[in-house]
């Protein structure tokens, strides 16, 4: 499948880039918010969703720097797919404070097959738009993205 994106110079819509694999575009706000998380640590996490009607990935929720992992986990819907990035702070065995940016492809078993297919086919292209991801997790239930899993994958 080949996707083409027309750009109307007089349009007031934000610029988006096309995903040739699935036809999904990535809203510029996704990249801007990710840069804020990465460089300025403005957010603890970002949850992204695919808007099928607009055929683009958009920011759904921003987590404040003071939000906890529990706040993050609660922001992921139980029956719908999402992408997320989480700024994970931890202490190493050598007692060093570290931080890793973790990309999570959330695809619960109870989500619709079509949704799983769309998210799976768009994931790699979307992830490439977010320069600076250090760890990737694929999760179908909360135990596959718990703090213990993040810690073990971050070492």
- Dist. CA 90–CA 148, nearest whole Å: 11
CB atoms within 10 A of CB 69: 17
- Dist. CA 100–CA 30, nearest whole Å: 19
**pLDDT at res. 23:** 63
Q: Which residue has the higher pLDDT, 77 or 4?
A: 77
Helices and strands per DSSP (H, E), number in the chain = 4, 7
Region 98-108 average pLDDT: 97
**pLDDT at res. 4:** 41
Q: At what angle do helices 113-129 and 28-35 cross, to 10 degrees?
A: 60
Residues 6+ apart with CB under 8 A from 55: 23, 24, 25
- Dist. CA 78–CA 94, nearest whole Å: 36
Nearest residue to 21 (alpha-carbon basis) of 44, 45, 50: 50
pLDDT of 10-44, one tens digit each?
Answer: 444 444 444 444 568 999 999 999 999 999 999 99
- Largest distance between two CA atoms of the chain: 56
On whether the CB atoms of residues 118 and 24 are closer than 8 A, the answer is: yes
């Amino acid at each position: 499948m080949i996707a083409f994106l027309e750009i109307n110079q007089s349009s007031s819509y934000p610029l988006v880039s096309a995903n040739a694999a699935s036809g999904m575009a990535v809203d510029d706000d996704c990249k801007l918010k990710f840069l804020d998380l990465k460089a300025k640590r403005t957010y603890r996490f970002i949850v992204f969703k695919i808007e099928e009607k607009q055929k683009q990935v958009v920011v759904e929720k921003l987590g404040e720097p003071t939000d906890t992992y529990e706040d993050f986990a609660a922001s992921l819907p139980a029956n719908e797919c999402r992408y997320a990035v989480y700024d994970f702070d931890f202490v190493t065995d050598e007692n060093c404070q570290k931080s890793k940016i973790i990309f999570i492809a959330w695809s619960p078993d109870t989500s619709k097959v079509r949704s799983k297919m769309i998210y799976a086919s768009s994931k790699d292209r979307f992830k490439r738009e977010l320069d600076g991801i250090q760890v990737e997790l694929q999760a179908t239930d909360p135990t596959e993205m718990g703090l213990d899993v993040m810690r073990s994958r971050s070492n």
